[in-house]
Chains A and B, each alone.
Chain A
Amino acid sequence: MNPLVSQIRDTARRLLAEGRVELVLGYETGPVPLRNAPCFVRNANEVDSLTWDHFCSLNLAVFLHGNPRRIAILAKGCDSRAIVNMLKERRLVRENLAIVGIPCRGMIDRAKVERLAGGSEIEAARIVGEKIIVVAGGRMVEAPVEEMLRNACRECAAPTPTYYDLLLDGTARSPVAVGAIDELPQSDRTKRWRRFEAEAAKCIRCYACRNVCPLCYCRECCADQSNPRWIGTSPNPSDNEMFLLMRALHLAGRCVDCGACVDACPVGVDVRCLFKRLEREVRERFGHISGADPNEKPPLATFSTTDPEDFLTTV
């Protein structure tokens, strides 16, 4: 068994038994391969359902909204960044929260595994050492775990949480330096538009990306608003583009690049495609790193008199 699992169960048991928390948020093996389900543990004798492996891609921070209980949450690097931003935006009561940091080794991308399996239904999947073995369509395929990881994980700058109450022992992926992947493919404008158009055209407007996002918490999303109706509800190409642009803007400087939206998308839209650039702009222009410091102000809620003005039209 993964040594982290026993650590997680022991920690959860202790926190619940001592009455420090009323609820532990973690993962349990779900009914579908490659995807662990969220697990809500309320009793110390139930902790054995908690698990940990490469299939814990869901961002648990999304369940913290509006929950008045004292909660312990298992947090990978990205979950902890999301919690930091939620604290920054006064969405959580810090005293009610016990953040159990887990050094993350990256999570498996289901879409990549499905491609590996050649489209046949995946019946079972297991991690053995550094390999993932998948049973699909009656045959067995295997691939290195590293190749099957989600892009968000492969580009993660902080796989080990930087903000936590308790950090479990373990080895994390080596972090990618901040800004190391700024070199975006410098394709021309037409190609960029074609790519964006193609991504938007896939969208069926199920709003799964919004619903799994821990930082998309508006009571009424402007995609649902009817007066004014900002975004038409039909999957019209222009409205899809509007939805993706709107969501990217609303998450500018707040997105923690957990990749949950990409994971949740049933039609494989690369929802992250626009977020990387905004992250870089916010970092370079406003010197703000998302999810780093809970005492900072959100970058778009404040300003500096020396913000760059290079985008202005001057005459």
Chain B
Amino acid sequence: MTEVQNPKSQIENPVEWQPKILAFLCNWCSYAGADLAGVSRLQYPPNVRVIRVPCSARVGPLFILSALQRGADGVLVSGCHPGDCHYLSGNLVARRRFALLKALLDEAGFETDRVHFSWISAAEGGRFAELIREVTEKVRSLGPARQFVKRLNATTIDELAREGTSE
């Protein structure tokens, strides 16, 4: 019989697990805010991967769901403050969508602390760093994403883990 490595240990003791957080930042405010945090040499956790989008309204709910499905531990969407949108009302349209997405995920029983929405202006470098710290901590406290993550053979890992305990 070939030696199969028991996956149980990997599940229970992830080696130095770090949350992976995807951040959609609008080009005109939040991305500039992140830039300001950088040039101001502010420290914040390195767990975010930034995707620059033209406007927070460019981010469809499917972007967020797709990210979660592909194993992102958290998703952050940030745009201009209401009234400051480069396209006048993009963030106001997006605000309605995000409110509903969060409510829907809550109703389905998904851990809503993995999904965050915020407004960061180009002048708020400090607030950006603070937001990333806050989001990273919330996602870290939830642990690695399990709900909704796509696995090719969905039951295999759980079954192997169960076999591991019975032995």
Chain A positions near chain B (C-beta within 8 angstroms): 184, 189-196, 222, 230, 232, 236-239, 241-242, 245-246, 248-249, 252-253, 274, 277-278, 281-282, 285-286, 299-300, 302-305, 307-309, 311-315
Contacts and interface: CB of A to CB of B under 8 A. Distances in A.
Given A189-B111, A274-B107, A286 B95 contact: no
Given A252-B104, A278-B104, A195 B82 contact: no
B148 A194 contact: no
Given A300-B97, A311-B103, A313-B131, 6 more contacts: A184-B107, A222-B62, A236-B151, A237-B154, A305-B92, A311-B117
Contact of B83 (A190, A237, A274, A305): A305
Nearest to A281: B103
B100 A281 contact: yes
A86 to B, nearest CB: 21
A230 B66 contact: yes
Contacts of B66: 230, 242
Chain B, interface residues (CB within 8 Å), range? 35 or more
Interface string B51-83: 000000000011001100100000010000011
Contacts, number: 116
Nearest to B129: A315
B69 A238 contact: yes
Nearest to B93: A303
Contact of A315 (B98, B108, B130, B150): B130
A313 B134 contact: yes
18 contacts: A193-B109, A193-B147, A238-B154, A242-B69, A242-B148, A252-B100, A252-B104, A253-B100, A274-B104, A281-B99, A285-B96, A300-B97, A305-B83, A311-B117, A312-B118, A313-B116, A313-B134, A314-B118
Contact of A248 (B96, B104, B111, B147): B104
Nearest to B107: A277
Nearest to A222: B62
Nearest to B130: A315
Contact of B108 (A192, A282, A304): A192
B119 interface: yes
B130 A309 contact: no
B100 A249 contact: yes
A175 to B, nearest CB: 24
Contacts of A230: 62, 66
A194 B109 contact: yes
Nearest to B154: A237
Contacts of B83: 305
A312 B108 contact: no
